[in-house]
Each structure stands twice: as C-alpha cells, then as structure tokens.
Amino acid sequence: MAFIFRTAMQSVGLSLSLLGWVLAIITTYLPHWKNLNLELNEMENWTMGLWKSCVIQEEVGRQCKDFDSFLALPAELQVSRVLMSLCNGLGLLGLLASGCGLDCLRLGETQEGLKKRLLTLGGTLLWTSGVMVLVPVSWVAHKTVREFWDETMPEIVPRWEFGEALFLGWFAGFCLVLGGCVLHCAACSSPAPAASSHYAGAGPRDHGSYLENGTVQPKV
C-alpha cells in the first residue's frame, strides 16, 4: 500500500511539473504580457511580450515587430527574459532527474539511495523553476499596476493593462512549485519495505542447500 501511494505521489508531481513547464514555455514566447486599448481608435489593440510587440487592427490583422535592442528594454523585461530562459532550462533538467528517479523505472535500482537523490534533486530544480516564473510575472504585473494608477500621467495617455500571459505564467509557476513540492515529499517518504525481497532471496538459497545435501534441514 505504501508503495502504491508513493508511486501515485510521484506520478501526480511529475504530471503537474510537466504541465507547468509547458505553460511556462508558452508564457515566455507569448506576446501578451501587456495589453493596450486605445479609446480614440477601438479597432486597434497593442500587445507587448518579452521578445516583440504587436498591433492588432480589424482590417489589416496582426502585425508584430521584434525589439531592436535588449539593453533598450525596461529593467523588468530584461530580468524577465533572463529568468524565464533559466526557468525553462531548469525545468527540463528537473523533469529529466525526476523521471529517472521514479520507482516504476528499473534505472538505478542496484545503487542504494540513487532514486531518492534524483527525486530530491528534480523536485528542488522544479520548485526553483516555478519561483523563477512567479518572480518576473509578478514584477511586470506590479509595474503595470503602478503605471496604471500613476496620477502624474495625464488621463488622455493610454495605460497598459494585464495581458493573458501574466495569468498563464502565474498558473504555470504554481504548477511547478506544487509539483516540485510533491516530488520532494515523495522522495522523503519511507520507501517500500525491503523485507519481502530479503525473504524472496533466501528461498532459492534454502532450496539449493536442500538439493546439495539431499536432506531437509530442520527448522529451529
């Protein structure tokens, strides 16, 4: 029963982490971190991401342009690029380490404690990856709120608002953090008892001694 519960925890943790990692990659390249609606021209909407900005016009459609310079970007977008790229890399390493540490795989069974170390490492990497998603997404959201309620700006100036990528990033970060915590708890939980394997291995040895001696050894 303990082995089944431990395996279920590993499956749930890995599934949550995989979902969060895929959503984090989509968030990284989705050009909808900020939205801007012009009151003077309601048929034209602007969106901004980490890599490019787009304008959506009713007649022309979507037109996007990559940012010319990384150094010309605001500080929150510069840091967000770096952290999101690191998040995707650490998430991939965490998934690989956690996958190799699953109890349902026979990899590393001969080395004592290897699976536990792999699960612990994978859970830590995935948890760190989730934090690296939550930090830039929350920072961009905080800057957007401050600029939206900035009283020094004239009211006629259009204000940026939350884009869909921010909500997707929050969900991805929570999935990665929760998945990493579940995997770490599964690694710290007690493994399946080894007594059954001990007695299973003792059976053939007793049978072999019976064949060699030709007599049945009395039990004490």
Q: Mind listing the pLDDT tens digit for each residue in 34-78? A: 998 766 556 778 899 999 999 888 777 888 999 988 998 999 999
Q: Specify whether domain 2-33+74-190 bears CATH 1.20.140.150.
A: yes
Q: Record the pTM.
A: 0.80
Q: What percent of the chain has pLDDT over 70?
A: 80
Per-residue confidence band for 1, with pLDDT thresholds at 50, 70 and 90: low
What HEC string does the chain produce?
A: CHHHHHHHHHHHHHHHHHHHHHHHHHHHHCCCCEEEECCCCCCEEEEECCCEEEEEECCCEEEEEECCCCCCCCHHHHHHHHHHHHHHHHHHHHHHHHHHCCCCCCCCCCCCCHHHHHHHHHHHHHHHHHHHHHHHHHHHHHHHHHHHCCCCCCCCCCCCEECHHHHHHHHHHHHHHHHHHHHHHHHHCCCCCCHHHHHHHHHHHHHHHHHHHCCCCCCC
Q: Mind listing the pLDDT tens digit for each residue in 12-24? A: 999 999 999 999 9
Domain boundaries, the chain: 2-33+74-190
Average pLDDT, stretch 163-181? 96
Q: Mind listing the pLDDT tens digit for each residue in 92-119? A: 999 999 998 888 777 656 666 888 889 9
Q: Mind listing the pLDDT tens digit for each residue in 72-90? A: 899 999 999 999 999 999 9
Average pLDDT, stretch 206-217? 46
